[in-house]
A and B are shown apart, each in its own frame.
Chain A
């Protein structure tokens, strides 16, 4: 509170006492009996109410002095007789009471004001925070739009590149085959071998393009969410892969699997990839075994695994395992384009799950993926 306000408050005390004095003097000359005291009480109450404790005390002392001087015998002196003292005591007690009342009111008022200020501050902060959130949201939606656009462009690019790459590829393999067919007789062994390599490379590039297309399609495709029985799609995947591994002796162990919500054809692709990997990498094993099952649920997540006793992998290269076109084996060892596990990861991530793997060279590998299982499922 400023000095000016303080001066104003004390002046109020002085002025109200002066006014009370005037009124009392007038009452006295008018001859009303015992009418001198009330104006001073009024002045005191006024000072206490509007001025606070300081001005109230000032008003009290001034009133006492003035009252003593003008109205208590002997008049025009600050002396007082014994029987007049109770007047002053009553006056002083009343003054204390009024001051106390007005003080408590002031405290309550101050508390209220403080509370209101705090509230206003909080409100302002909240408004500011809301503003921040709004601008962050705007930024976010702008970015997600940009991301969506660039994603779409990227997918369109991958798609059109894949298609424009197909034509020259078809020509390469087409004319090489024609050459092989029409001119094989005039080619020596070296020439025939070169031709074979051209054909193999063209075929490999065709596979790469097909896989790249399939991979880019995962990003573009709308997911159709349905209740998918993993039991059933594992059976389908195993049946599909078995036909490719005809004549091999593989011990299959398939445990109970839960049902999940997801895109059936995508989840099927996940299992076909994992199962065909297991079959592929156990090729060198006389007693190949593949286990498929589900771990204990972790919360609402079901963890499905595909385990094999194949060639395994070195855990040092775990980072590369799920990368696009990343391979841990040479093409003469195990065929493949290096996109299968990238596809698996992309699909599982799109379903809000996780993929990971454990393995040891020559000791086999286990691939895990987690998906939100459907509650109340029988397993």
Chain B
């Protein structure tokens, strides 16, 4: 598949990262995935700082954001991105274990584009990741300034 948007996966649990990447790989969606393992790294990526100082300036097509993160938590990352004029157009999808209504409400209040609860069942999990990947990295037209689909 050649028309693939870049996915920034923000996830602290390496096992979840691996499972997510495996699920994406299964549908050839993993080539353009960048992983940030905490909220600080995610913001560093967005602002081209720290380890991501040298990256090319385009934005990812979508952020897959966990809520429970070390250093800076997911809601904080979300609110910083959505309150930044340059970044607020980037689609952000919260991908979390939390069914808690207050987490969901807070996410939507901060302007999240989608809220997905990670299914426990592996098949359902793979399906959810696949559909997210296909939709955001392939079907959806990302806002201007994103990594061009080549």
> Chain A interface (Cβ within 8 Å of chain B)?
159, 163-164, 166-167, 169-171, 173-175, 177-178, 203, 206, 209-210, 213
Contacts and interface: CB of A to CB of B under 8 A. Distances in A.
A171 B122 CA distance: 8
Contact of B122 (A164, A170, A210, A213): A170
B19 A171 contact: yes
Nearest to B118: A170
A354 B150 CA distance: 67
A164 B98 CA distance: 9
B120 A171 contact: no
Contacts of A169: 120
Given A166-B97, A206-B121, A213-B99, 15 more contacts: A163-B98, A164-B97, A166-B120, A167-B16, A170-B19, A170-B120, A171-B16, A171-B19, A173-B121, A173-B122, A174-B22, A177-B122, A177-B123, A178-B22, A210-B120
A209 B119 CA distance: 13
6 contacts: A163-B98, A167-B13, A169-B120, A173-B120, A174-B19, A206-B120
Interface string B35-54: 00000000000000000000
Interface residues of B, number: 16
B125 interface: yes
7 A-B pairs with the lowest CB-CB distances in the bound complex, closest first: A171-B15, A174-B122, A174-B19, A177-B122, A206-B120, A173-B122, A166-B120
Contacts of A164: 97
Interface in B90-112: 97-100
Given A169-B120, A206-B120, A174 B98 contact: no
A173 B118 CA distance: 14
A16 to B, nearest CB: 91
Given A163-B99, A206-B120, A170 B22 contact: no
Nearest to A182: B22
Grouping DSSP codes into helix (H, G, I), strand (E, B) and loop, the B interface class, with mixed when no group exceeds half, is loop
A171 B125 CA distance: 11
A123 B15 CA distance: 74
Contacts, number: 41
Contacts of B121: 173, 203, 206
Interface of B: 13, 15-16, 19, 22, 97-100, 118-123, 125
Contacts of A167: 13, 16, 97
Contacts of A177: 122-123
Contacts of B120: 166, 169-170, 173, 206, 209-210
Contacts of B99: 163, 213
A46 to B, nearest CB: 88
Nearest to B14: A171
Given A178-B22, A206-B120, A170 B98 contact: no
A78 B19 CA distance: 133
A277 to B, nearest CB: 24
A174 B97 contact: no
B125 A174 contact: yes
A359 B53 CA distance: 72
Contacts of A171: 15-16, 19
Nearest to A168: B15
Nearest to B123: A177
A175 B19 contact: yes
Nearest to A169: B120
A216 to B, nearest CB: 12
A359 B48 CA distance: 70
A213 B125 CA distance: 19
A206 B97 CA distance: 13
A353 to B, nearest CB: 29
Contacts of A206: 120-121
A163 to B, nearest CB: 5
A59 B48 CA distance: 121
A167 B12 CA distance: 12
B61 to A, nearest CB: 25
Contacts of A210: 120
Contacts of B119: 170
Contacts of B13: 167
A203 B124 CA distance: 13
A167 to B, nearest CB: 6
